[in-house]
Structure 1
Amino acid sequence: MNSYQEEYKRKLVTADEAVKVVKSGDWVAYSHFAMTPRVLDKALAARKNELFDVKVRGVCSVHPLQVALADPEQQHFIYNSGFFSGVERKLQDEGMAFHIPGLYVESPTNIRSGQNAPDVAMIVTTPMDERGFFNFSVSCSYERALCEMARTVIVEVNEKAPRCLGGFQESIHISEVDYIVEGNNEPLIEIPTHQPTEVDKKIAALIVEEIEDGACLQLGIGGLPNTIGKMLAESDLKDLGVHSEMLCNAFVELYEAGKITGARKTIDRFKMVYTFALGDARLYEFVHNNPACAIYPVDYTNNVNVIAQNDRQIAINNAIEIDLYGQVCSESVGTRQISGTGGQFDFTYGAFRSRGGKAFICLSSTKKVKDRTVSRIVPMITPGGIVTVPRTVVQYVVTEYGKVNLKGKTTWQRAEMLISIAHPDFREELIKQAEKMKIWTRTNKRLS
């Protein structure tokens, strides 16, 4: 038995034993996305009656949070998330979860400066390797920063977690770990691929025609990115690259179709760069020990200066609504938090600064609200809504009715361009509102 194995045995404890380090008033940080701790979360929730004012911080958990469910009145635990998943959104609706606003890229800096430093870090990892390292698997985000700043570091080992090659800061050594808990070893939760709608297909087609050989892609989750992936896989494009905060299923299809080589990237050539992966079992199998992929912390992947170094960087992101000034809301419906800012601002800004780069904000022209159809292009952001991307940063906006480039445009030009890609049923009313807002002139076209 080598020294690392001996140290492993000394530090191996049950989850119930490990969570005893948490004290009333502590901040506890969980690892993120598919790597949310489940065994430690359950054990911490079981200590409810012993603890008060424990703040738990997570990001986009795809698992039910036991600390929140065990204490709906928040007398013992307060759960907070930097980006809401569907699970966390439901908790918020019941008053059991709160949002932490911020730019994704700044998270490691905030933690290391002490602004969001945890007392205890609970991080899910792969099993320890022969050199004593635990890999953060499919979530590198800012796990390393959490571990550096925490008073106590607990790793929850999952034997089914894929090992994701770096990059850097993708692992922690056993000498830096205080306790080891062996988890339930369940496969990572799979996020189903959303089937594209006809609207998705129309929007995707408008974007695909803007992509050139050697372009570097950022895609998110959902029907639209996967539709774009399928279209690109069937196209004549070649030598595409990847620099994306998220690695999703679409990239696997593109890689296996021979479209992704990374040969024309300016930095990290031949590498698919990302900071977390979220998708199905095929994606998790793809990233495991794959030298074509490189996982980095988010202050690298989402750094606008890094993003801009790759020529022809393409950023494709979704929105909830956009107003006639060009302000984009992608994270809330009124005051109801839906997701978070994430990296949308980072990539929209960074892609535009890239030589030949393009940043797309995509949305269907309408949505259903109960039994009504409403426009997603609105005179002004819904009261209480969050501006995720300011009008000064937005470049392309795309709906199923077309795409417009708002860069350098006046307020009256923006209004006309955005109304031109709104659903026809809403254009006259939008024109009336634009006139009242004094962003419509007698030279504007009448849009039918």
Structure 2
Amino acid sequence: MKNEDSFLNLLPQIFYQLCLGLSLLTTAATAADEPFRPEAGKFPPLEKAHAYRGELVFVDHANRRGSIRVQGSGMFFRNDPHPFALLPYAIVRYHGAPADLRDIPLGTVMHVRAFLPPDPKTSSVPVLPVDNKKIDANHNRGTGIAPAENHVLLLEDEPSHCQREGMVWKLKEVDLKNNEGMIIATLEPKQGGDGKASEEKLTFDAATRIWRGRESLSIEELIAEGAWPAAGKKSLGNQPVLLGITWKPTPDGIFTRFHISDIWLDDISMQRAAKNQTETHKAFIRSRWMAAWIDNVEYGKFGRATVTATLFGGMDDSLYADFKKDVPALMNAVENTLKHTHGAYGPAHMASKGPIVDVTKAPGATPLGSSGIQIRFDTDLIIEGIRPGRVVRVRPTSWPQVQVPREEYLNDNLEERFPTPAIFPKY
């Protein structure tokens, strides 16, 4: 009896602890969904980003922005293109390698991690109510298709996303007729899961590219080998692959069925695709300079200064290796779209020049967007745009000096950031 009384006396405390635990869980879930606005000079944590995916339908590569048809809970084809802008330190991945927006074909399904605009006054895309992702868009479109989190930290295609998350597609069955048809597949952890992955139907056609080792195969060649049937269904035995995914209008009243653009059958074929994209991006960065932001400026006399800057992340290691102590370099101010803002004859026209006097690497893990590499740069003539918190581009003099096209610099006029019809010549 005494034990029963003691237990009864503890009931209120047990109930309180349970309620407290539920409250903490609810608070944590709410905090995870809470819109996050990045601060100047700080790389935002990836875990606070809002995640969504959709079809890339428009690209303004010069201004590092575009539009995505976001997958929501309704009819995909009804969803309006949703504008997004890349943060200055955003990382873009295509085929498992660094990329620029100009590298990604329209129609590619992309995974997005994004935040609220850091500064709504200078946003290059529309600023929306912070709870916009919860609003029902009506017309059978559902919720989630126009999130206010439209400033992107991470933009990656399907194979890049799967590699980062440790996932693979497993092909269950193919159904083929006239070199096109349907594949049933599941997306599962590469190391094996609990077997509960849901099946998804994806279309393919004669334009779908199949990669194996160094080979580029067609549907006809897979049929000739006997790997796929000439017609009808065949089990593929949970074959692990990586997929490139796009979207195409589909018949039969199916509005959110995705399409396979590429199938990588093995690691070698995916590595080759990544190498090709890496080389494309390396050449691009060497011609446009490495982006960074200014941590500190120590001013001297008569225009002299020592500048400390953190290089942005997501690039190939060979690019960072070119930033060495005593290497001559140039540094020019840029706007948040990474367009050069000083000089009418290319980025080198008004750039500050001088040697890199020190290069350090931060220990441990670095936040996404940062390389963790900090350089100190001496110059005898510092320009106005190089100030703490500002974004710059830096070029070791071993990189080629080229002139960027007119749409990629501002000529010191910030009003040119967002093109108007006036950009076109009058004939």
TM-score, scaled relative to structure 2: 0.26
* Greater per-residue helix proportion: 1
More strand by percentage: 2
Q: Which has the larger radius of gyration?
A: 2
Q: Provide the TM-score with structure 1 as the length reference.
A: 0.25
